[in-house]
Amino acid sequence: MKIAVIPGDGIGPDIIKQAYKVLNRVSEVFGMEFTFEEMLMGGRAIDEIGVPLPEETLKVCLESDAVLLGAVGGEKWDTLPGHLRPEAGLLGIRKGLGVFANLRPAILFPQLKSASTLKEEVLGDGLDIMVVRELTGGIYFGQRGRSEGSGGQEAWDTEVYSVPEIERVTRTAFEIARKRKGRLTSIDKANILESSRLWRETVVRVAEEYPDIELNHMYVDNAAMQLVRNPRQFDVIVTTNMFGDILSDEASMLTGSLGMLPSASLGEGSLGLYEPVHGSAPDIAGQDKANPIATIMSVAMMLRYSFDREDAALAVERAVEKALDKGYRTGDIMQPGMKLVGTEEMGDRIAAEIAAG
């Protein structure tokens, strides 16, 4: 199995190194063979080649079985034009790979309940929410521009969705809900936006194919409130690109740290893009301070969705829990009485816990 690896910027190389440790251990335990090819993207690609997404990078990714990404971006490149910023590489690779459904699980490990910003009575037995975000349409990909108006310069961005775009991500969300608790919440702003009205109409129609799934709708402003008021009401959430970007980050903080949260971006086939939700954190790059768990959990999602190895995915997830059970914590999730470790040691500890069965 060939994995295209994009370490990226900031802490990207630090956390990707831990992913290698985990995959090498998985290879030993489960007899899986991996080959890796590292490619440029983001700020480093801008510095070395002049563009955020080199053609060769996309070519190699398309020829691979999965793509593993560290993180891109940083203040160094913030003053560049939009099409030359590192984030343009992210948008480009998602479009180029045809990955339209971004899966962002927000899981609160029992060991980290005290690290959450919510009271324990609100959290109950814990949280397990899956946000399915449409990834290649909406306002991030619509027409945009600037013009001179009567009051000076004006700027505009356009939210556009087609029925097929909504249908495919909705079916992905329904299929995931079918494997979980059987509940799906579609989030929109159908009381105001025409694009949201089409979104809701389409979701309702697709729901006829899934009579076993409980569907409800929620406006995005209410959803933002409900995530902190009563997050346990949610199982699977499906929503647009921008709303999903915002709500998944909000959901992530309920778990205690962005450093804990993975993501998978999927299309029609098995090729997927796997990356942590957090950013490049250049202020701690190379200092052995980054939390590698989000990247390691992204590896688990890769094993599950691209390689169809549920056994290996579960082994990685259990290894993370075992390391937490033994009290190991990076700085972002450190609690009184626990054992503070760096990026390298956390990677070593988790890899060592991976076992079959």
Of the candidates 140, 161, 210, 328, the residue annotated as catalytic is 140
Sign of the alpha-carbon dihedral angle for 313, 6, 135, 320: positive
Phi, psi at 132, each rounded to 5°: -105, 110
Q: Which residue among 65, 128, 249, 348 is the active-site one?
A: 249
Both tokens assigned to 320:
């993370």
Catalytic residue among 47, 78, 157, 221: 221
Kind of pairing, strands 152-157 and 262-266? Answer: unpaired
Give yes or no for a contact between 171 and 165, defined as CB atoms under 8 angstroms apart: no
Q: What is the dihedral of CA 120, 122, 125, 129, to 10 degrees?
A: -120
125 counts as catalytic? no
DSSP sequence for 160-218: ---HHHHHHHHHHHHHHHHTTTSEEEEEE-TTT-HHHHHHHHHHHHHHTT-TTSEEEEE
Q: What is the DSSP letter of 78?
A: T
**Strand stretches in the chain, DSSP E:** 2-8, 35-38, 66-71, 101-107, 128-134, 144-149, 152-157, 183-188, 214-219, 236-239, 262-266, 272-276, 328-329, 339-340
Choose, from 113, 188, 189, 235, the residue flagged as catalytic: 189
Look up 161 and say whether it is catalytic. Answer: no
* Residue 17 bears catalytic tag: no
Is residue 288 among the annotated active site residues?
no
The one-letter code for the residue type at 153 is: Q
What's at 152, amino acid-wise?
G
Among 9, 188, 235, 245, the active-site one is: 245
Interatomic CA distance for residues 11 and 8, integer angstroms: 8
Rounded to whole angstroms, the Cα distance separating 137 from 159 reads 8
Q: Which residues are catalytic?
A: 140, 189, 221, 245, 249
